[in-house]
Amino acid sequence: MSKEKFPEWAAAEGIVLSAHQLKQFESYYTLLIEWNKKMNLTGITDEDEVYEKHFFDSISAVKAFPTTDRPLKIIDIGAGAGFPSIPLKICFPHIEMTIADSLKKRITFLQEVAGVLGLNDISFVHERAEQLARKPEHRESYDIVVARAVARMPVLSELCLPFAKIGGTFIAMKGSTGLEEKEEAEKACSLLGGVWKEEYSFTLPVEKSQRCILQVIKEKKTPKTYPRKAGTPSKEPIM
């Protein structure tokens, strides 16, 4: 049912999917299940659940996009199995997407996905966010920084805001704890150059679990001392 409803759900978000794009989502699901047999990519394997809890949940990030009709430069931090970056890239082929993850095996899987699906203007980086954010070609270079199910907001803000350009947007995709985490991250957001903007709360159409999308606009440069060395943000979050 969720797979059949997926185009309708996408259309409600302003995304009209072609037959080719729907086929890409089918191929993505097939690859996800095949690779999941040999490495831990997701605990959700039922097709309808993947379409709702991974695919639709991923594309719901558009609620916080500044615009989707121009060639945005986006980075997905801690992409895991490719959520939300791969679904967003399927929906918006003109996006210039960079996918970063600290596990080489996940990057290998995502490279395979991009090849099979024929995705262009997509690059992959095997590196921790704390190290990657110190490289000039990545620091404060992106229109949008997105992360889903990576860490709580005080930690995630330090990992992600250094990548956003001035005027860029950091989008954090959260569950029911989203607004609570927003309060926890007030100090981190301000210190790292961000200003909170509108958040978006909704429930998944079938499962009815709560989702919260937090939006931060980068208004000033992140101090050069951030992010701190690998592991420190999670051990000593800015609170």
In the block, tokens 């704390």 appear at: 130
Q: Which of 149, 159, 224, 164 is nearest to 188 (CA)?
A: 159
Name all contacts of 226-232 with Cβ < 8 Å and 24+ positions apart. Answer: 226/158, 226/161, 226/162, 226/191, 226/192, 227/129, 227/130, 227/133, 227/134, 227/158, 227/159, 227/162, 228/130, 228/158, 229/130, 230/128, 230/130, 230/131, 231/130, 232/130
Residue 8's pLDDT is 97
The tokens for 54 are: 């991974």
Residue 149's pLDDT is 79
Residue 210's pLDDT is 95
Q: Which of 11, 12, 33, 13 is nearest to 22 (CA)?
A: 11
Tell whether the torsion through CA atoms of 189, 147, 135 and 106 is positive or negative: positive
Find out whether 130 is annotated in a ligand binding site.
Answer: yes
Q: How far apart are CA 5 and CA 7, in angstroms?
A: 6
Can you give the CATH number for the domain in which 170 is found? 3.40.50.150
Instruction: Find how far residue 88's CA is from the centre of its chain.
Output: 9
Find out whether 79 is annotated in a ligand binding site.
Answer: no
Residue 106's pLDDT is 96
Find out whether 83 is annotated in a ligand binding site.
Answer: yes
Name all contacts of 189-192 with Cβ < 8 Å and 24+ positions apart. Answer: 189/153, 189/157, 189/161, 189/216, 191/223, 191/226, 191/238, 192/157, 192/158, 192/161, 192/162, 192/222, 192/223, 192/226, 192/238
Note whether 69 and 76 are within 8 A (CB). no
Per the structure, the count of domains in the chain is 1
Which residues span the domain enclosing 89? 2-235
Note whether 131 and 230 are within 8 A (CB). yes
pLDDT in tens, the chain (239 residues): 899 999 999 999 999 999 999 999 999 999 999 999 999 999 999 999 999 999 999 999 999 987 767 789 999 999 999 999 999 999 999 999 999 999 999 999 999 999 999 999 999 999 999 999 999 999 999 999 999 978 999 999 999 999 999 999 999 999 999 999 999 999 999 999 999 999 999 999 999 999 999 999 999 999 999 999 999 999 999 99
The tokens for 92 are: 């918006």
Task: Please give the model's pTM, rounded to 2 decimal places.
Answer: 0.96
* 74: β partners: 97, 144
Find out whether 170 is annotated in a ligand binding site.
Answer: no
Find out whether 13 is annotated in a ligand binding site.
Answer: no
